[in-house]
Structure 1
Amino acid sequence: MAPPASLVHFYGCPPSMFAGKIRSFLRKNAIAYVERLPADGHYQSVVIPVLGRIWLPVIEMPDGRIVQDTTEIIDFLEAEYGCESCYPQTPRQRIIALMMEFFGDEGLLRTVMHYRWNFLDRQGDFIRGEFGSFMAPGTPREDQFRLAEIPMSQMSAYLPALGITPETIPQIEDSYRELLAAMDAHLHQMPYLLGGRPSIGDYGMIAAFHAHLGRDPVPSFQMKCTASRVARWVERMSAADSDMPEFAAMPAAFLDQDAIPETLEPVLRLMATDHLPVILSTVDAVNRWLEANPVEEGAPIVPKGTRKALASHAPEIRGVAARQGVRHYQIWMLQRIQDAWDALPAADRDAVDVLLERTGLRPLLTARCTRRIERRDYVEVWGRAN
């Protein structure tokens, strides 16, 4: 039976990292939707030609408008439905929420990919079943397993391009253990990152913590055994209501007076340890590439329909350097933080700066690309010179 025409069509799948981010937002904001897999005929015949590539998640509105990219989807839906904004209006909370979204979307990629693809001896059948089910729903299990081997092999082969190597794996696992401990201590005090309702930072973090770290057997077992409050937050972020009976006295609002809890600061310091070096190296690599390669405003950064890296770099994290592809999309997300800071009055900037200096994140505000990156027609393009 076809879904009602008034529903948002949400194209995703259970094991997708970024589908989890949008699914959570749709539920939390009571937006009526129907989820469809990429095997759906309409997705194949209509959505892919519009995007120019296979990509998840995507939403299609009842009038046919198509939106891709999780951040753009959230901004679009907030404007379309008049949702109570997930962007805090006070300066410190707004900047921290944007940084947490950035960390969840981009800073935890190595973590989620390592824990999914380097433990197939223990969770391989689960992953095969998940991939086979969205690739060929309704077909025999053995056929699904056979089909799943193709993308599974491709994803496993992609790990070195992300800097996941035998040399970096101990650092990745140490980082995850420390992050679980820091988040668990914080979420023991409150239901969401900034109080009694989810911010854009929660939605960014759930991207990593739902499908990969919260559903895949190996990392989810570790989470439940060592960080039960994080596991509870993952459940909470999947619920349609606030789901916080443990915090019945807390209002469903961000903390008063632009407060940033002390318990969140260890998480921010881990961002500075594990994500900041990659971003600084990315900006430097792109700026060096731009020095050698003249570009035109509006030109695609890489050919449309490809995932080619603009260049490579070797950021050092916890004393270990690993060559990996430059993810230019990170600069687009970084600009959102910098633009928000640039728009603040001087006194508010000072308040933000004190917090970021204390947590080691202040360089995120000054690491600027010599040319902006924009998004147009579902791709990243070169913007104006900075």
Structure 2
Amino acid sequence: MADKVRARMVERLWYVGSNEINAPQIEQGFAEMLDLLERHLSVRPYLFGHRPAYGDFGLWGQLYELWTDPTAGALIEGRAPHVLAWIHRMLWPRAEGEFELWPELSLTLMPILTRQVGALFMPWTLANEQALAGQRDVFSVQLGDFTWTQKPQKYHARSLAMLRGKYAFLHDRSRLDVVLEEIGCLAGLQPRPT
């Protein structure tokens, strides 16, 4: 059974973008995210202040799994003590106060949103969407100084469509649009022609 699981997961590495071409980007992006998140969580217990939010739960699952890996876990433990404390705190999350206001949050959250979401995730997810629409088996996209190459993922195209739907549902987007424009995500959330 272990051989079957191992074979299945090893074959999926290329599918999810884990390959020799992308390895330096994965390592650099992880280290940068740890540094940015460490700074952000050094002054608050949760992403948006003193109580957990959807963002905490979404990000925590990924970082918890990374922490259980010996290599990534050692990096977290040696480089990001506040991230590690947050990972532990999220095992039993609880409200410890109120959410913070944007002017205070933005000081350390904007670098995360700009560098990780706007500069990396949004161009990647748009390229993934275009690859699926063009029925390509593999796509490449320039992310900073690197070219990222992988097979397209239907799940992420559906996730992008859901994000667009949630964005379109908002009645007053004026303040949100300012932030989305600044981080480089506003254009990607606009409806696509069918």
Task: Report the TM-score, using the length of structure 1 for normalisation.
Answer: 0.46
Q: Which residue among 80, 84, 88 is the counterpart of 1:227? A: 80
Are 2:146 and 1:320 equivalent residues in the alignment?
yes
Question: How many angstroms apart in 2 are the aligned matches of 1:176 and 1:226?
Answer: 11
1:207 corresponds to which residue? Answer: 61
CA distance, structure 2, for counterparts of residue 237 and residue 368 of structure 1? 36
Matched, 1:338 2:189: no
Does residue 271 in structure 1 map to residue 125 in structure 2?
no
C-alpha distance in 2, partners of 1:259/1:337?
25
**Equivalent residue letter for 2:8:** Q
Contact 2:52 2:93 in 1 (8 A): no
Conservation of the 8 A alpha-carbon contact between 1:286 and 1:369: no
1:224-253, Cα deviation, whole Å (9 max, x unpaired): 1101111111101111545xxxxxxx61x3
Cα displacement (A) at 1:158: 2.2
| Gaps in structure 2 of 5+ consecutive residues | none
Identify the range of structure 1 (329-338 vs 177-186) with the bigger mean alpha-carbon deviation. 329-338
Secondary structure of residue in 1 paired with 2:20: coil
Question: Taking structure 1 as reference, are residues 161 and 343 closer, same or farther at Cα in structure 2, changes over 3 Å only?
Answer: closer
Amino acid at match of 2:59: M
Which consecutive residues of structure 1, in runs of 5 or more, have no partner in the other structure? 1-146, 243-249, 290-309, 371-386
Find the residue that maps to 1:315 and give its secondary structure.
Answer: strand
How many residues are matched? 193
1: distance between equivalents of 2:112 and 2:69? 23
Q: CA deviation at 1:362?
A: 1.9
User: What is the alpha-carbon distance in structure 2 between the residues aligned to residue 257 and residue 321 of structure 1?
Assistant: 33
* Aligned with residue 285 of structure 1, among 122, 128, 131: 131
Over aligned residues, Cα RMSD in angstroms? 2.3
Q: Please identify which structure carries the higher helix content.
A: 2
1:284 maps to a residue whose letter is Q
- 1:169 match: 23
2:120 and 2:143 in contact (8 A); partners too:
yes
Distance in 2 between residues matched to 1:332 and 1:217, nearest whole Å: 32
Seen in structure 2, the aligned counterparts of structure 1 residues 154 and 189 have a Cα distance that, compared at 3 Å, is: same
Who wins on radius of gyration, i.e. which is larger?
Answer: 1
Matches of 2:11 and 2:147, distance apart in 1: 19
Q: Is the 8 A contact 1:167 1:320 kept in 2?
A: no
Matches for 1:25-44 after TM superposition, within 5 Å: none
Which residue does the alignment assign to 1:67?
none
Task: Show CA shifts across 1:249-272 (max 9, x none).
Answer: x61x32247974321111111222
